[in-house]
Amino acid sequence: MLLLCIHIILLIIYFNISTISKLRLFCAFDNHIQHFPTQKYLPLQESDDRKTYYLKIHAPWEVLATYADVLKIKVPFKASDIPKAREVPLEWLTHPFRLPDNIMRPEPDYFTAPFDKSKVDFFLIDDKDTFFPPSTRNRIVYYILTRCPYYKEDRKEKDKTGINRLLNNGTYTSAYPLHDCKYWKKAQDMQCESERYHLYKYWARFLCFYKEQPLNLIKKYYGEKIGIYFAWLGFYTEMLFFAAVMGVICFVYGVLSYEDNITSKEICDPKIGGMIVMCPLCDKKCSYWKLNSTCLSSWEMEPYLPFPSKCARFCLSGATVLFWTCLIVACIMGVIAYRLAVYAAFASIMKDSPTSKIQLVGSLITPQLATSVTASCINFVIILILNFLYEHVAIWITDMEIPKTHLEYENKLTMKMFMFQFVNYYSSCFYVAFFKGKFVGYPGNYTYMFGKWSKLRNEECAPGGCLIELTTQLLIVMAGKQMVGNVQEALLPLLRNWWGSRKGRSHPESTYSRWEQDHDLQNFSQFGLFYEYLEMVIQFGFITLFVASFPLAPLLALFNNILEVRVDAWKFTTQFRRPVAAKSRNIGAWEEILNVVAILSVVTNAFIMAFTSDMIPRLVYLYAYHPGDEATMRGYITNSLSLYNISQIPESNLPEAGENPSCAWRELYSTRTTCSSGTSWLLN
């Protein structure tokens, strides 16, 4: 019963106590703990290095009952008499996905009520040692420690209160509840709980990816807050299945209708697209080009603050957020400038590149693709760097605002981080979707990014629109984010724990105590769930805001989340110390953020179909401009392009000598007096 009785471990490393004052703080806090209504279960224990000491805290029944009454913790008072639902037809089909009943429901169903110490006989108390679940016990003890003072009796300094301040000033290095047993085998003592082992066996292993989650056991072991996170993550993943099915249907339909796309056939036809000469896409280094060179890309894929102080803090906070938002915009502008600058270089380098002769993939390696891929990779690296820097800034400015409650603190931090990441992750996608190709001008009067002096001519979209490039951007950023996130969540804790426990592994198991083993695990910070939610909400934005351009995004998200559930479960069960349990009613501010993103996604997808794709011009042509009496898309390509006299194009916009195609194309270009541009729908 030893591990059941130890509720919190306080860790002291005397080697790190550099001043006498910290030692006095420890002694004062230690004395208060002894007189506070908790008691140490075991005396201070020294580790083998004679620098590390473990203080084991135990709360007896009287203390647990007193604070359960204070916190109004709900406990069972009557067995549920609600009849169980009848089995539905074909229920046996779901049996492979189910877990054993003792794992799914570790406790019988009860009616509950807030605990009242004066009415103990009213509640169903069979054993006082196990009446309160582990998560409730460590929550009560930590609640007491956060309110335990450490000032001297003759000098009452009210701000010197709580374990958190002692952790921040280094008097204690950590405080954590123990796991109940080893995760890879049951506890040898039958009286000890083996919930961690059951969580690992039925939940944290990847081979259980198709099984339901034991949410009741998760709540019992980790508390409601973590339980709600996994319940939400599981529901979100299940709903992704339906979106993924629709995305696959759209993708398969596009592949099967490949041969029926008359417009794309005209682009690829050497007698139509092969005879249309397009105007250069950049100045000097870009040559005239055939329309059929884009053949493949054309198919559809509580303290009080004075008002002046509060106002000053608010202004400083707002200015800081605005500065970082402007920094993101500046970085995006830099990436756009990169795209404009290197396109000409890629066009010059790749015009006679041997890669164009590679079978199957040679036709895909174009200056547009090279520019898009490299710019997307650079943008993703910038995103990671800015995220790393802003995390610390967001925490600092939220602390500076001094929120009244922890919930208010979390909500403010959530809004700041999401606003920043929204701009950081999605701004480049918004540029490609709604701005690229919209302000290019026409031959003789092209539009430049910073004026004609910059010589950075605005980009044009391919004849099939910017959807392919938007898909490339989404794929690189979304897949890259998921890959980096999985490495950070799984590989880094594993390596850190392996390195941290290198000394303990050489000791016999009898001398490598459970509290030392748990200490060698990674600490689960108060922002642990925050980053988990943030990762999923950003992913939700990718699969909703731009799904019209990449219908397979929900499928990628589904595969990632199936892995994510088990990686998070494995991480909580094997790599992290047991977090202190916390209450929660819902997912907090994230619910409102998800609602806003869902509403915004309707607008963005409508705009993508209206402005980024050429769906509307095609429909207009099909019903208003088609030749003959039959509604057909034949002739759409030639109708949608504008012709320009090459002799009227300024010298500064013409290709340099030697940049024009040679050999087989030379005769074609030498006889051309006009070139085409895809701007007729804007001009007419």
CA distances from 131 to 68, 115, 126, 147, 215 (A): 11, 11, 7, 24, 20
| Residue 483: pLDDT over 60 | yes
Decide if pLDDT at 32 tops 70.
no
Question: 274 pLDDT band (50/70/90 cuts)?
Answer: confident
Does position 676 have pLDDT exceeding 70, yes or no?
A: yes
* Span 391-403, average pLDDT: 70
Q: Give pLDDT tens digits for 626-659.
A: 777 777 777 777 777 777 787 777 877 777 766 6
Measure the CA angle with vertex 58, ends 56 and 63; round to 5°.
Answer: 150
280-322: pLDDT as tens digits: 777 777 777 777 776 655 547 444 555 565 566 667 667 776 7
459 vs 566 pLDDT, higher one: 566
What pLDDT score was predicted for residue 348? Answer: 66
pLDDT at 229: 93
What local confidence, expressed as pLDDT, does residue 263 receive?
Answer: 67
Find the helix or strand (DSSP H, E) in which 243 lies: helix 224-256
Lowest mean pLDDT among 502-516, 612-626, 627-641: 502-516
Q: Among 328-342, 394-408, 433-447, 562-576, whose mean pLDDT is lowest?
A: 394-408
Answer yes or no: is pLDDT of 230 > 90: yes
Rounded Cα distance between 625 and 642, Å, is 15
Q: pLDDT value at position 527?
A: 75
Please tell me what DSSP assigns to residue 518.
Answer: H
Nearest to 176 by CA among 23, 41, 8: 8
d(CA 222, CA 133): 10
pTM of the model: 0.76
195 phi and psi, to 5 degrees?
A: -70, -35
pLDDT at residue 185, rounded to an integer: 80
- Of the candidates 245, 373, 364, the one whose C-alpha atom is nearest the C-alpha of residue 299 is 364
Q: Please tell me which residue, 493 or 240, carries the higher pLDDT value.
A: 240
**For 481-503, what is the mean pLDDT?**
76
Task: State which of 42-46, 143-147, 244-248 shows the largest mean pLDDT.
Answer: 244-248
pLDDT of amino acid 546: 85
Average pLDDT of span 245-255: 85
pLDDT of 1 above 50 = no
User: Residue 578 — very low, low, confident or very high, per pLDDT cuts 50/70/90?
Assistant: confident
Average pLDDT over residues 658-680: 61
Query: Of the ranges 46-50, 51-55, 371-375, which one carries the lowest mean pLDDT score?
Result: 46-50
- At 521-558, the pLDDT tens digits run 888 877 778 888 988 998 999 899 888 888 888 998 99
User: At residue 79, what is the residue type?
Assistant: A
Nearest residue to 76 via CA among 218, 272, 220, 250: 220
Local confidence band at 331 (pLDDT 50, 70, 90 cut-offs): confident
Which whole number is the average pLDDT over 199-203?
A: 91
Q: What is the DSSP letter of 5?
A: H
pLDDT band at 509 (very low <50, low <70, confident <90, very high): low
Give the pLDDT of residue 203.
92
Between 16-20, 32-36, 50-54, 198-202, the lowest mean confidence (pLDDT) is in 16-20
pLDDT beyond 90 at 235: yes
Write down the mean pLDDT value for the chain.
76
Our CA angle for 238, 244, 247, nearest 5°, is: 160
Per-residue pLDDT at 598: 92
Q: Which of 9, 96, 86 is nearest to 53 (CA)?
A: 9
So what's the pLDDT on residue 85? 67
